[in-house]
Structure 1
């Protein structure tokens, strides 16, 4: 078993060449080349594996095949941690009996589940990787460019992953923050697997309605970790909805995003001097957000849908998200 610890980020296709240049020039960077990866994600018709919070994949690369199952894990800020099991195979369909028996829930007939498996969706992409030494740790940085395919529908993949190969997880954030100084990045909440299930119609699509109103939270230092975690999670959920919501329905979501970022700023201000660089990032983003008011009985105050894309082009956007994740991880130690 391997414990996969990684930070997932979204990038924009137009930054592809610049990103490669930056990663090639980072101190202690060792380019590892590019591989073409073809992946089939398997489950039963009733999604038994997904209900167990498991993900099953068969990956093809360099004339090799490997089956991988990921079991239940956790996400803190933007850091994903999931146990995974990898087995080399010779066929393009998985064999669940090759995984350790201990991973399965008690009293389950795994042989029956194995015969019911089918390919739900595919992901095909080119992966360019670098190994980077950071403070006695080795981080693999992977740039994935390709597509998700399900039921004749296609969705692009343009992602950057920082995975810990050895050492300490604390090496991930400083490296990502260094890259974000030159290339616009943002936290990637939705994994390829989640996006694939959604594209295949096997998972609920991203909602387009505003989130429930924020409940009052304590604004003292004792609750700062909870507030940071809650605020970052809410930020990503609002962003997801803004990305799929029509222009006419976006107004309240923009209001909620502004409230969320102001909440995070207030949380940070409890133990941070106003001259701290974090406040400069907060102020820049808040000044850039569209100024809207919640709709009442008057016509909706529409915000151009291009506003979100322009926001994502700001380097400070991802820099602020990563700085907050770094602060959350440090405070949780």
Structure 2
């Protein structure tokens, strides 16, 4: 069993070549082999594994097959941590009995569960990887580009993952921030599996209604409460993005006002943790960029909310601010 700790970022397709150039030029970067990966994600018809917060896949690469199951974990900002079990197999259908018995709920008939599995969706992509020694840590950077496929539907994969092989998680953020100075990146909330279930119609559609109002605690703020507010607001930022991307049609939407409010509240919470001028400057830039984007959209009304966000994501400061906040949250926790 491995305790996987990774930082997931999204990029836009037009930045693929610049990303490769940037990663090749990082100090101590050692390119690894490039793999073409085919992945089938399995579950029962009633999504029993999903209800247990488990993800099961069979991956094919270099004429080899491997089954992997990820059990319940945690996500803080963009840092993902989930227990993971890998087993080499000879067939494309997973065999659950090959995983450790202790990962399953008590009295669960594994043979019957295994027999009821079906492939829900596939993810097929090319993965380029680099190993980098950085700040006494070993980090693997993986660049994935390809597609999620569910029946006749497909969705693009453009992801950059920083996985900690050894050392401190802070090294992930340090490297990511270095890359984000050159290439526009942003925090990735949804995993390939989450997106695949959504595409296959096996999970609830993303809502497009405004979120409930965010209320700051009535007590006098301190560093720890401010840090919790930061984490909650960073999560809220990503939820607002998800909902804006799901909106069909044109016209202004109240979620844009909530995005501006969220960034302003984050700025206040962050100032209670640190008076770092560089972060304050990023807040000022991003808040103005969002407000300008909304003002232009209100005049032209010829862009969807997803297209508006894509324009915002072209500004490197957008992802730089998100990463600076995750890094600060990790520092405060330590």
2:225 to 220, 223, 226: 223
CA distance in structure 2 between the aligned counterparts of 1:250 and 1:145, rounded to whole angstroms: 32
Deviation digits for residues 98-140 of structure 1 (CA, Å, limit 9, x no counterpart)? 0000000001111100000000000000000000111221100
**What SS does the corresponding residue of 2:114 show, helix, strand or coil?**
helix
Q: 1:231 to 1:22 in 2, by over 3 A?
A: same
**What SS does the corresponding residue of 2:291 show, helix, strand or coil?**
coil
Conservation of the 8 A alpha-carbon contact between 1:58 and 1:94: yes
**What SS does the corresponding residue of 1:205 show, helix, strand or coil?**
coil
Q: 1:257 to 1:116 in 2, by over 3 A?
A: same
Who is 2:242 aligned against?
240
CA distance in structure 1 between the aligned counterparts of 2:125 and 2:252, rounded to whole angstroms: 32
Question: What is the 5 A alignment of 1:244-323?
Answer: 244-248=246-250, 250-273=252-275, 276-290=277-291, 304-305=303-304, 306-323=307-324
Q: C-alpha displacement at 1:5, in angstroms?
A: 0.4
CA distance in structure 2 between the aligned counterparts of 1:171 and 1:155, rounded to whole angstroms: 31
Question: What is the 5 A alignment of 1:1-333?
Answer: 1-218=1-218, 219-248=221-250, 250-273=252-275, 276-290=277-291, 304-305=303-304, 306-333=307-334
Q: C-alpha displacement at 1:222, in angstroms?
A: 3.5
Bigger mean CA offset, 320-329 vs 216-225: 216-225
Conservation of the 8 A alpha-carbon contact between 1:151 and 1:200: yes
Q: C-alpha displacement at 1:50, in angstroms?
A: 0.6
Q: C-alpha displacement at 1:249, in angstroms?
A: 5.8
Conservation of the 8 A alpha-carbon contact between 1:76 and 1:329: no
**What SS does the corresponding residue of 2:211 show, helix, strand or coil?**
coil
Unaligned runs of 5+ in 1: 294-298
Bigger mean CA offset, 69-78 vs 222-231: 222-231
Q: 1:223 to 1:302 in 2, by over 3 A?
A: farther
Q: C-alpha displacement at 1:250, in angstroms?
A: 4.3
Conservation of the 8 A alpha-carbon contact between 1:129 and 1:141: yes
Bigger mean CA offset, 66-75 vs 305-314: 305-314
The CA RMSD over aligned residues, in Å, is 1.7
Q: C-alpha displacement at 1:207, in angstroms?
A: 1.2
Conservation of the 8 A alpha-carbon contact between 2:227 and 2:270: no
TM-score (norm 2): 0.94
Conservation of the 8 A alpha-carbon contact between 1:3 and 1:81: yes
Bigger mean CA offset, 246-255 vs 1-10: 246-255
CA distance in structure 2 between the aligned counterparts of 1:320 and 1:221, rounded to whole angstroms: 19
Aligned length: 327
CA distance in structure 1 between the aligned counterparts of 2:217 and 2:252, rounded to whole angstroms: 25
Conservation of the 8 A alpha-carbon contact between 2:3 and 2:82: yes
Q: C-alpha displacement at 1:310, in angstroms?
A: 1.1
Unaligned runs of 5+ in 2: none
Conservation of the 8 A alpha-carbon contact between 1:123 and 1:147: yes
**What SS does the corresponding residue of 2:34 show, helix, strand or coil?**
strand
Deviation digits for residues 64-93 of structure 1 (CA, Å, limit 9, x no counterpart)? 000000000001111000000000000000
TM-score (norm 1): 0.94
Conservation of the 8 A alpha-carbon contact between 2:42 and 2:119: yes
